[in-house]
Amino acid sequence: MGIQENIKDVEEKIKASCEKCGRNPEDVTLIAVSKTKPVSMLQEAYEYGCRDFGENKVQELVDKYEQMPKDIRWHMIGHLQRNKVKYIVDKVYLIHSVDSLRLAEEISKEAVKKNVSVSILVEVNVAGEESKFGTTSEEAYKLVEEIAKLPNIIVKGLMTIAPYVENSEENKQYFEKLRQIYVDIVDKNIDNVYMEELSMGMTGDYEVAITQGATYVRVGTGIFGERSYTE
Ligand SMILES: *Cc1c(COP(=O)(O)O)cnc(C)c1O
């Protein structure tokens, strides 16, 4: 199948998942995760109507930002180093991967310099996997509260990367947990925190994530095909 057919297929599955649990499909945004893929493939997705693209490397995001139309919303979904924040603060729509106060401080500092306001999600390692970035479930609340005090940075919600599993139902517990952390934080009514987004679910498990409240699903392989890192 081609890219456009793939997107159509994913959109239909999103709709079906929403129907199953009584959600409005308009409340779920599909992010086309285009990392490692050439601009020509992004263009195909763009022509179909995709406006949300996800990248995990700063240099690649900046390169593609320069080559693609300006009405795209770029999502930084990968681990972000503090010394690279300055290259993207005025280019990204949403940073999904903020997992420390030091990183948030750097984003805030650069945002003030460039006179922009940056929306972020706090990444939580709900499954507690050692190989993954993200704050712990226990520390998520405190981190949100501290980031909320910084200028020019807005906490919009939470993000998680679930483990790789054969049966996507196994990840339901982690999506449920992220949602619970989210609800707990909303209940605390922190000043300057406008929690409305839950970024969870990838090609293998986005349908399950939707049943647990995902507002952003990040789909790469399901749209662009397998990635090759050896080329
Ligand atoms: C690569 C990546 C995805 C997309 O993964 P697929 O399994 O190809 O859909 C989603 N989220 C993050 C954070 C990623 O790095």
Q: What is the mean predicted confidence (pLDDT) over 101-110? A: 98
**pLDDT(1) > 80:** no
Q: Is 211 helix (H, G, I), strand (E, B) or coil?
A: helix
Residue type present at position 20: K
Which own/partner contact pairs does 147-150 have at CB distance under 8 Å and 24+ positions apart? 147/98, 147/101, 147/104, 147/120, 147/122, 148/190, 148/191, 148/192, 148/193, 149/192, 150/104, 150/105, 150/108
Is 132 or 71 the better-scoring residue by pLDDT?
Answer: 71
Taking the centre of ligand 1 as the mean of its atom positions, its distance from the CA of residue 101, in whole angstroms, is 24
- Residue 231: predicted pLDDT: 47
28 lines ligand 1 (CB under 6 A): no
- Residue 8: predicted pLDDT: 98
Task: Tell me the pLDDT tens digit for each residue of 47-67.
Answer: 999 999 999 999 999 999 999
Distances (CA, A) of 154 to 76, 116, 119, 178, 192: 15, 11, 5, 19, 7
Taking the centre of ligand 1 as the mean of its atom positions, its distance from the CA of residue 53, in whole angstroms, is 11
Q: What is the mean predicted confidence (pLDDT) over 93-98? A: 98
36 lines ligand 1 (CB under 6 A): no
Q: How confident is the model at residue 112 (pLDDT cuts 50, 70, 90)?
A: very high
222 lines ligand 1 (CB under 6 A): yes
Residue percentage of the chain with pLDDT more than 70: 99
Q: Whose CA is nearest to atom 7 of ligand 1?
A: 203
Mean pLDDT is lowest, of 8-12, 101-105, 130-134, for 130-134
Atom of ligand 1 minimally distant from the CA of 219 = 9
Average pLDDT in the chain:
96
Q: Evaluate the CA torsion angle 212, 217, 222, 225 in order and state its sign.
A: negative
203 lines ligand 1 (CB under 6 A): yes
Q: Pseudo-torsion of CA 200, 203, 204, 208, nearest 10°?
A: 40
- Of 219, 211, 212, nearest to 18 by C-alpha is 211
**pLDDT(229) > 90:** no
161 lines ligand 1 (CB under 6 A): yes
For residues 93-115, one letter each, b for 16 or more C-beta atoms within 10 angstroms of the residue's C-beta and e for the rest, the string is ebbbbbbbbebbbbbbbbbbeee
210 lines ligand 1 (CB under 6 A): no
Atom of ligand 1 minimally distant from the CA of 221 = 8
Taking the centre of ligand 1 as the mean of its atom positions, its distance from the CA of residue 80, in whole angstroms, is 15
Distances (CA, A) of 89 to 63, 120, 163, 173, 183: 14, 10, 29, 33, 28
218 lines ligand 1 (CB under 6 A): yes
User: What pTM was estimated for this model as a whole?
Assistant: 0.97
Residue 176 CA to residue 213 CA, distance in Å, equals 8
Task: Tell me the pLDDT tens digit for each residue of 160-208.
Answer: 999 999 999 999 999 999 999 999 999 999 988 889 999 999 999 999 9
201 lines ligand 1 (CB under 6 A): no
